[in-house]
Amino acid sequence: MSERIVTPGRMTLAELRAVLRGNDRITLAGDWQSAVDRAAQTVTDVIAGGDVVYGVNTGFGLLARNRISDDQLRELQVRLVRSHQTGIGAPLEDDVVRLILVLKAASLARGASGVRTRVVDHLIDMVNAGILPVIPEKGSVGASGDLAPLAHMSGALIGEGNVRVNGEVQGASDALKAAGLEPISLRAKEGLALLNGTQVSTALALKGLFAIEDVFRAALVAGALSVDAMKGSDTPFDPRIHDLRGHQGQIDVASALLRLMDGSRIRESHVDCDRVQDPYSLRCQPQVMGACLDQIRNTARILEIEANAVSDNPLVMSEDGQILSGGNFHAEPVAMAADALAVAAAEIGALSERRTALLIDPAMSGLPAFLIAEPGLNSGFMIAQVTSAAVASENKSLAHPASVDSLPTSANQEDHVSMATFAARRLMPMAENTSTIVAIEILAALQGMEFHKPLTSSPPLETVRATVRNAVSPYDEDRPFTADIEAVKRMIASGALAQGVAGITPSVS
């Protein structure tokens, strides 16, 4: 197993993507132990001085007015972890849980949470041992942090609840023992520091971000293929048009489309045709996809900040010996970022579905009806486009913003919440839907190009065609589509589709 070194407070999106999608051994860099030790000592000193501090020697939420005696402080933390394990639904996937553990460890390692170094080490030890807590996906409103899911995570640290090891569910205590690890005994404030925080919603949002980035790149390729398949014009991608508007995403998308189509023999064959303008889903790709790219880039910036943030409460300022109660646990930045990503994912899919609809319409595309020989006997891409429309419609509903909703909790003490966890969790179903739409368009566009042979497309697009054709043959007559769609989706997710156009599609994050 190779080692991946990450620095608390300075983790990059590339590193976070590698943590999510890889299995490297994780090491935290820098002298983080000193800062953590100072903050833990501050908590000890505050308790010894008799001060009353929220979450250290008080109850929680509306019960913050209840003082807890010193001899009950450790029990307070254990009961907090147990009482907050209210999650329901399917367990979060292992890759997300792995990222949650790393995000939580890195946050605590910033030295503002008041935990001991042992707590941080324990989180990393579990990651490296492949011990991943079973965390139900539902139950967080994204304020006071992701309380319920992080409570399930924390239960595993103290040897309670279940974990997954190599995909198999085991009791946490047994799994820790088998790995040579001891359950942790929580001290003052440590349970609260573990439960407070936005690490679950952030991990879910990051997974959605990375998947939507992959789909975005594939959608640019699909759009270029469709322009060529319908003998559309590349004039709308002229950089002079986009420089006059000034949006960077639009400029970058137009440039990518021009480069993707450069050298196409199909394009050269109809330069002097009498078509005046293409439909918007072809012609306005820079404007629509560029707006999506700007949103994705801004979201990536926000999530990178949040991934490195200290988001529990209260926070320990060891330099001043103070413990301050604030609201960094409120996940509104994540919720709004996830909502923006959802809109972008829906629009990427909406534009792609419209291009597929054009391709199968002989009046618009100039190609055989439904892209098949002997239409009537064969139905061709008729129902593939229906599937595309179905999931595009699903995305419209899923794109409704979650961050505008709020239900008060904890007897109105927590009277405004972010709903960030659901906002982030719905991104993967949306990315999956959009991947389906784009995969269908790629298949349809390549089928359309079959009717232009012996003319060829550009070198980059011909590389894409060869990649797809290695797995999916052209449609000479009707056959089931599902396996072909899934094959292209795997190419999108693995990056195989983008390899042939590396350096042409714009940087996403």
* Exposed e or buried b per residue across 171-193, where buried means at least 16 C-beta atoms within 10 angstroms of its C-beta: ebbebbeeeebebbebbbbbbbb
3-state secondary structure of 24: coil
Strand partners, 375: 378
**Catalytic site includes residue 54:** yes
3-state secondary structure of 9: coil
Q: Identify whether the C-beta of residue 67 lies closer than 8 Å to the C-beta of residue 44.
A: no
Closest by CA position to 36, among listed 327, 316, 328: 316
Quick one: tokens of 447? Answer: 């089928």
Q: What CA–CA distance (Å, rounded) separates 143 from 155?
A: 20
* Exposed e or buried b per residue across 6-39, where buried means at least 16 C-beta atoms within 10 angstroms of its C-beta: bbbbebebebbbebbeebbebebeeebeebbebb
The angle formed by the CA atoms of residues 328, 329 and 331, to the nearest 5 degrees, is 100
Q: Identify whether the C-beta of residue 253 lies closer than 8 Å to the C-beta of residue 220.
A: yes
- Which of 39, 42, 54, 141 is catalytic? The answer is 54
Give the relative orientation of helices 94-108 and 147-157 as an angle to the nearest 10 degrees. Answer: 80
Q: What CA–CA distance (Å, rounded) separates 327 from 5?
A: 30
**Catalytic positions:** 54
